[in-house]
Structures are given as C-alpha cells and as structure tokens.
Amino acid sequence: MTSATSYTRQDWQTDQEVRWCPGCGDYTILASVQNFMADLGVDRENVVFVSGIGCASRFPYYMNTYGMHGIHGRAPAIASGIAVARPDLSVWVVTGDGDALSIGGNHIIHALRRNINIKVLLFNNQIYGLTKGQYSPTSEEGKKTKSSPWGSIDHPFNPVSLALGAEATFVARTTDMDRPGTQEILTAAYRHQGSAFVEIYQNCNVFNDKAFIALTGKEERDVNKINLAHGKPVVFGPDDSRGVVIEHGTARIVDVAEVGLDAIYVHDATAPSAGAAFALSRLSHTPVGPTPMGIFRNVERTTYESVLQQQIHDALESRGPGDLRALIASSGTWTVGE
C-alpha cells in the first residue's frame, strides 16, 4: 500500500475550515495524524477515515482522504464493513469517549474481539464536549457537571482495560501533547495486522481543562509518566528511581532501591497472555497519578477478513458460482394472497 508519490502534511489537509474551540487538543492530534500520513507514503485514495458523533468526529472533514461521518457510536460497524469488503484499504476510526464507550460500546468491543483490520483512535477528554459538558463514561466519580450537579456516581470505564478485556491484539495509550510518542504508536498501529486500539488523552480546555495535567505538566509528567518500552524494565520518575513489579497478577509501584532492579517487571508487549498488560492498565484508573503510557499489547492473531476471504474461496472451489434464485427457493416458498 505504499506510494511513489511524495506527500507533505499540506497534501493531507482539506479546504475545510478546521473548527474546534481555540486551544482544543484535537488540533494537535490532527497535525500529528496528518504528519504521520505524509511520512507514511501511502496513497490518499487508499485511506479511509470513519467517525461517529462528537467533537472528534469532525476529523474526516479535515483529512484529504475518503471518509464518512457516521451516526452516534456506529463508526466501528461502518469501518468493519469497509475493511471486510476492501481489505486493501487502510481503515481508521476516530471516536470519542462518549461516542465509543456509551452508545457505541457494543460495536467497539465486537470489532476488537473479531480482530478486524481497523485502527481505532479514541480521543478521551473525560467529558461530553459537543453537547456542552455533561459527564461521560470516563469521567471520574464525583465529577460535577451540568448533568451531575451533585457529582457523578457512575464508576468510569478504563478504556485500555476494556480493550484488553475485549481481546484486542494491539492496545496503546498516548496524550495529545506527545507528538513523538503519538507518531511512534500510530506507526506501530498501522503496521499491525488486525484491530488496533489507541487511547489518546485529549484536553478539553472549555469543559474539562487540565484533566491530564499529571501527565502533561512540565513538572508533573516527570513524576507520573510511566513510559512502556518493549523488552525494558518498567521504571520511571527522577533518575528512574521508581518501578513496577507484577506479583500474582497485580501490578504495584515500588522504590527500585528497595527491591532491586532485577525485581522490576520487564515489559513484554508480545506476550500471548494479556494478563501483564491488564495489570499495568489497572495501575491508574484515572490519570491523576503514575500512569502507564505507550504500547501495552501487540500480538499476532488471524484477522477476521482473511478467514472470511478464505471461506469464500473454499466455497467457490467446492461448489462453484452460487445460484441466488435456487438459494431463495431452497427452504420452501409460499404465495401470499391466494
């Protein structure tokens, strides 16, 4: 799916005015994706962006590719159909925490478990931004909003845990402000054969400003950001003084000096079992303290469309071309009105 054409970011921009609130994290994510696509070197006509409803879902208007602005929560279903019908295309889903995890929750988990070759970018700002500030499925307990003036009593989703529980073969997390980290994850997601799920913490400066300051603040991030690197010990903090150990399926944070470097968990994103990745995802249910970032899981599994195409091939080989009229009449017919 590579191209002989050399692209720049401008080639991936449309003539539509980009309209998000000034200072919105979506602008940074859009720039990261456009730069990534330009560097990737794929033809624009071989790329499709599909979205649902929400601030993030304006994305297809701003990407100079094929695209579709779908209905609320149904972007994974639309993208699944495109990927199955046209496995030669690179299919991307742009969604938000409300769009994907509320009305779209059923669609997202089934797309992931089937391992359809789509790439899901979930912009998580922990709020409903487009409808002006109601609490979302990822808002923290006690969140005071227009729809929860006394504080939300809902327990929030952990999107990475949810994706891992749905047997996703590629799961990662980044922030809108981390352009190098986002580019690295997007590249890995593109190369992955199967469903890829990328949670992007995205600041909504109007309705939920500084929700991710623990990971984006100049001083805070040095203390709280846990960078996952495949094959390396999970250490973080000043001088890598803190680390993560996993015992009996549970991850906990320790002082490296107290337990020794040999006790620190060495990250394996390719482990067949998702147990360690899930344990890492539970270190922080909401990003207010030490939080893992990067690729949690990246494993190989047969894609849905490859098996489907093989079934079609085998059926044609054994039975020949189908007869639609014979198929319709094969289970008995009746005449209405006689």
pLDDT digits (tens, 9 = 90+) for 226-260: 999 999 999 999 999 999 999 999 999 999 999 99
pLDDT exceeds cutoff 70 at 1? no
**242-247 sheet: strands from edge to edge:** 235-236, 242-247, 250-255
Q: Judging by beta carbons within 10 Å of its beta carbon (0-12, 13-18, 19+), is residue 245 exposed, middle or buried?
A: middle
pLDDT exceeds cutoff 60 at 4? no
* Residue partners of 128: CB distance under 8 A and separation at least 6: 54, 98, 134, 135, 136, 207
pLDDT digits (tens, 9 = 90+) for 62-115: 999 999 999 999 999 999 999 999 999 999 999 999 999 999 999 999 999 999
The three-class DSSP label of residue 165 is helix
pLDDT at 3: 58
Domain extent listing, the chain = 1-211+302-338, 230-296
Q: Tally the residues of the chain.
A: 338
pLDDT exceeds cutoff 80 at 48? yes
pLDDT at 338: 62
Of the candidates 134, 123, 66, the one whose C-alpha atom is nearest the C-alpha of residue 100 is 123
pLDDT digits (tens, 9 = 90+) for 260-288: 999 999 999 999 999 999 999 999 988 99
CATH of domain 1-211+302-338: 3.40.50.970
Q: Write the DSSP assignment of 105-116 as a string of letters.
A: HHHHHHHHHHT-
Percentage of the chain with pLDDT > 90? 88
Q: What is the pTM of this model?
A: 0.93
